[in-house]
A and B are shown apart, each in its own frame.
Chain A
Amino acid sequence: MGLIEWATSPWGKLVPIHIAWFLIWVALIAGFLFFIVHAAYLRYFAKPREFAGSISPAAAASIPDRVPRHSLAARLFHWIMAASMLVLLFTAFLPRVGVQFNWITYHWIAGTVLTASIVFHIIHASFFMDFWAIWPDRIDLRDAWRRTLRVAGKPESPPERFAKYPLENKLYHGAIIAAGLSAIVTGVFMMSRVRTVFFPRNPYLFSDMTWGMMYVLHGLAGVGLIALIMVHIYFGLRPEKRPITKSMIFGWMSRDFYLKEHDPKRWVVETSSSPTSSASDSKGLEGRGLTDAG
């Protein structure tokens, strides 16, 4: 049982045509297994979360009741991307499991919406937000090592509180970038194989082998996204993550949650009266991490 379906082209060459569709089930099962394992770990094995140091009363006092986390633009992007991604996944894979409908039109329209929203996000994140807030830094890596050792029962100092995004969030963002961009880039080329309003149809754009690899990459990215999005929704629904989920709806998180999980030095919240730290930032309000980069 191969991961890729192959066929013989009219010119006698063996070419890949798409992924083996059982990978859809593999992704679904992997997603569910992750839920079970993670939920069981948290329920029965995980120790209470512990962070190094404490926040000074002065710094804590300066934090507002509602800590702004995601700007309206960032939230709109997130939900538009989420809606288009779900439409893409359902239209791509439901026909493969026997639900027949006119999927391809919805698929390329949703793909177009996703592509436009991603282009917006790249520009927005690059020029109007704290671009590096979503990328792992040295402290994240050091703390990840500390957390791993502590889970293994080794004596180690507790990690510091998170910056704006925990490392898991940043790694997830990286995985979504890899899978999402693979699906988008291949998908844009694949639109030249069907009739859309964007390009004149040109099935000869690439060789059969290149097209085949493109379909395979698109499929792999697609099934990868099934698992990734299942995991994302799972975390979004977990009780301890609910303040983060709510912040993606309302734009802010509570002061208590902020002080419990986040380090005011690493995620600087500017209040109208005084900043909580002396960290300078020339990018203005959003550059100080008040909005979303993820």
Chain B
Amino acid sequence: MAVIRDVMAAFELFQPTSVADAQKLLEQHGPDAWVLAGGLDSFDWLKDRIKKPKAVVDLSGVAELRGVRPSGNSGSDGIEIGAMTTLTDVVNHPIIKQKYDLLAQAAELVASPQIRNQGTIGGNVSQDTRCWYYRSGWPCYRAGGNICYADTPEGRNREHAILQADRCVAVNPSDSAPALIALDAKFVIRTRKGERVVDAEDYFVGPDIDITRLHILQPGDLLTAIRIPSTWAGAQFYFEKIRDRNVWDFPLMNVASAMVTSGDRIDRIRICVNGAAARPLRLRAVEDAVRGKPRDAATGEMAGKQAVQGAIPLQFNAYKIPLMRNLVKRAIIGQGAGVEEATWAS
């Protein structure tokens, strides 16, 4: 298919200055509207002319969607991050660095400094998948068709899903999403019916629920903020991102964990992996299994094995199984703790 780059199809551009106006526009245009945050995912779609919205609602002028502020009384309930806050601002914010460094670590590993200056936290969690069959405009399941080109005997699927694939094998590419899930963040969504607050892990959907979206936002909905409760403030955090290049690349897989220990025992833990499925996977079974256990190599090994149970590799991504095992192990016991790592040979 011939792809015309750099010349976008015509659309009506709206630049609201308030959330109320933005939401009104989104409701007015429904499925024909496209929400533009930082534009880094959007302009790929628009310039490749794969997506041709009739109306684009540019949120860059909505000041109330920017910034990090205390949530609740004097910030005791945590923080609220406006959806249009740039990733650079997230990385550099003193409270985030001090109390929720997991998010700062994750955001700092997104792409390149220039992209982090422009990219927003809301856009990072809401971006579409990177599956090139889908992004090339082919009529796959995710595009409304009846086939997954990546899940064929000859499909190029090195970056695709090993877990919870259901017809479509694309994965979620966000780095900040697993960190937010590990921090038990809440996503604030403005809908036609009013404000809706959902747990971070419930913001994402797999193809079994909705094969055309990676998140729950429906036409007319707007993600306005992300609230991080103080529950995990100052916990022990681990974030690791594996990618083909050390900068400016999407994750092959990443892992985020927040842990509270008592002595050498794991008291509380939340752990999430992304790049393994169409949605960031919170590993509840692993959390349950390691809670109360010593934070040592044996626990890490057990957690790694448990994490990949049910994984089904595609033709070219079997490496993701040992990769996920190792990431989960390291997320529990820390890097370089002398654990023998799972290996894979093609």
Contacts and interface: CB of A to CB of B under 8 A. Distances in A.
Interface in A131-182: none
Contacts of A5: 144
B53 to A, nearest CB: 19
Contact of B1 (A10, A104, A201): A10
A10 B209 contact: no
A101 B165 CA distance: 15
B146 A215 contact: yes
A8 interface: yes
Nearest to B139: A7
Interface residues of A, number: 27
A100 B138 CA distance: 24
Central interface residue in B147, B149, B167, B205, by most chain A CB within 10 Å: B147
B41 interface: no
Nearest to A212: B146
B246 interface: no
B44 interface: no
Contacts of B194: none
Contact of B167 (A15, A101, A104, A215): A104
A203 B151 contact: yes
A194 B205 CA distance: 19
Q: Identify whether the interface residues of B are mostly helix, strand, loop, or mixed.
A: loop
B138 A204 contact: no
Interface string B126-157: 00000001001011000111111101110000
A294 B290 CA distance: 58
Interface in A1-56: 5, 7-10, 12, 15, 17-18
Interface string A189-224: 000011100000101100010011001000000000
Contact of A211 (B146, B166, B210): B146
B208 interface: yes
Nearest to A12: B1
A203 B147 CA distance: 7
Nearest to A218: B146
Interface of B: 1, 133, 136, 138-139, 143-149, 151-153, 165-167, 205, 208-210, 218, 312
| 5 A-B pairs with least C-beta separation | A7-B139, A102-B208, A17-B145, A215-B146, A100-B209
11 contacts: A7-B143, A10-B1, A10-B138, A10-B149, A17-B144, A18-B145, A95-B210, A102-B166, A193-B147, A193-B167, A203-B147
